[in-house]
Structure 1
Amino acid sequence: MSNERPKAPRYRGGRRGMMLVFSSPSGAGKTTLSKRLIMHHPDVVLSVSTTTRPPRPGESDGEDYFFVDHEAFERQLAADEFYEYAKVFDHYYGTPKGPVEDAMSEGRDVVFDIDWQGAKQLAEKAPRDVVRVFILPPSMKLLEDRLRKRGQDSDTVIDGRMARAEAEISHWEEYDYVIVNEDFSGALEEIELILKAERLKRARRPWLRGFVDELMKERR
C-alpha cells in the first residue's frame, strides 16, 4: 500500500470573497492602511463608487469613480442597484452591486473606505459578506496633530473635523474588529490577520461541501 498522501480535490468556484469595510475618523489612517493592504494582495481590490459629481482633474471614469448624471443615478437607485448610497452637498454617492458581486464571485475581496452610515447599510444588505473594521487613533490630541500637519485646513475646518471624529468614534461598537493605529506596521499586521482568519471561515469556502462528500464516499 502506498504511503503517499492523497491530494485534496480541486473544486471550481474556490473561495467566495468578502466586503472588507474600513471606517475611522479623518486622519486616523484608514485610507493609507487600505492602500497598503491592496498593494500587498493582488486579489484584494478597492470598491469604486458611483457619483453624480463632475470628475476632478486627473480622475478617470471607472477607476476613481463611475461618473453619471442625476437622472442615471436615480434610475439605478430605483432599480435597487446600490448596496448603499448617500447625498453629500447636492451630489449622490453610491456603491454599485454589480462590480462588487462579480469580484466576490471570482474569489476577490473588496475593500470599502466609508463612514459608519455606509457600513451599516452594507451590513444590512449583505450581512454574510461584510466584515467591518474600525480604526481608532491612539489619542484625540494625536489625531488633531495629524490633521494640522497636513497644512490644508483652517482652524475652523479642523474643529469641525474633530467634532465629526467624535461622532464617528461613538459607533465603534457596531464593528466586528477594532484596531488602534498607534503604530502603522502593527495596525497593518492586525489587518492582515483579520483578512487571513476571515478567508478561512467555512461560509467563504464553498468547495468544502464537495470535499467532505468525497471523503464520506471513501468509506462506502
Structure 2
Amino acid sequence: MYKIKDKEKLFIYTGPDGSGRKTIAKMVATAFDMETVLSYTTRPPRHYEQDGVDYHFVTDETFNKLKDNQEFLECVDIDGIHYGIREEDIVKAFEDHNLVYLTLNPEGTEKLKEMYGDKVMRLFIYSDRDTVIERHKARNDKEEDIQRHLAHYDEIMAYKTQCEQVFENYDSPQVSYQVSEVIEAYLDRNRIVTDY
C-alpha cells in the first residue's frame, strides 16, 4: 500500500451519480494544483465519455488480470460492473502534486478512508432525486442506466452523514466556490503549501 507523505492529501468526491461530482471536482482542481486519478471500469463508455479522460475503460479480462496482479489499491463490484483505482496511478499523481482528487462511489471512498484516515477528506456532493433524473436525461443516458442509478440513490444518500463535508449541488459554479473555500481553509489550518 502506498504510504501518503506529510503534505499529501486525498480529496474524494462521492455522492449519487448525476449530482455533478465530476464537474465540481474539475472546477475546484483548477483553483489548486490538484491532480486527478481515474478509475478503471468494465462498463462501456457512455456516448459523451472518453477513455483516459473520464475512466479507463477495460475488458473484464484486463480488469481481472490487474486484480490478480494486485495492482488495485481498491476495487468494488456494483451491479456486476467492476471499478478500481490502480496504486501505481496514485503514486504517479503524488510525484508532482501534493493534492490528489478522485471521484468514487461510497464503497471505494470508504476503503480509501479506512486505509488513509485523516489524509482523506470526503466531499459528499448530492442533488435531489428529480434534479438527478433531469441531469441524466439531459445527458441522454439510457433509461436502464437511469433506473440502475436511482435504485442506489437512497443507499448512497445515507452515506453523507459519514463524510467530512456535504454540499447540495444546486448550482455548480457556486458550489465549486464553496468547496474551494473549505479546502483552502483546511490547507491553511494544516499549513499545506500548494502552487495556486
Q: TM-score, normalising length from structure 2?
A: 0.76
Distance 2:87 2:114 in 1: 14
**For residues 57-76 of structure 1, what are the structure 2 equivalents within 5 Å?**
59=50, 64-65=55-56, 69-70=62-63, 72-76=65-69
- Aligned residue among 181, 195, 215 for 2:169: 181
From the CA coordinates, give the structure whose radius of gyration is larger: 1
Contact 1:17 1:105 in 2 (8 A): no
Q: Who is 2:148 aligned against?
A: 160
Letter in 2 for 1:85: C
Letter in 2 for 1:18: K
Report the alpha carbon displacement of residue 29 of structure 1 after superposing the two structures with TM.
Answer: 0.9
Per-residue deviation, residues 18-77 of structure 1 (Å, max 9, x unmatched) = 111001212111111112223343x21111334567899995569942858255313332
Q: Are 2:144 and 1:151 aligned? A: no
- Aligned residue among 183, 187, 191 for 1:195: 183
Gaps of 5+ in 2: none
- Judging changes above 3 Å, is the alpha-carbon distance between structure 1 residues 51 and 146 closer, same or farther for their aligned structure 2 residues? closer
Per-residue deviation, residues 130-183 of structure 1 (Å, max 9, x unmatched) = 11000121x3222222223333322x5434322211221111111000001112
Q: Are 2:82 and 1:87 aligned? A: no
Q: TM-score, normalising length from structure 1?
A: 0.69
SS across alignment from 1:178? strand
Contact 1:24 1:169 in 2 (8 A): yes
Distance 1:55 1:153 in 2: 12
Identity %: 19
SS across alignment from 2:73? strand
Q: Are 2:28 and 1:29 aligned? A: no
- Judging changes above 3 Å, is the alpha-carbon distance between structure 1 residues 76 and 56 closer, same or farther for their aligned structure 2 residues? farther
Distance 1:70 1:152 in 2: 24
Gaps of 5+ in 1: 1-13, 206-220
Q: Give the length in aligned residue pairs.
A: 186
CA RMSD of aligned residues (A): 3.3
Q: Who is 1:127 aligned against?
A: 117
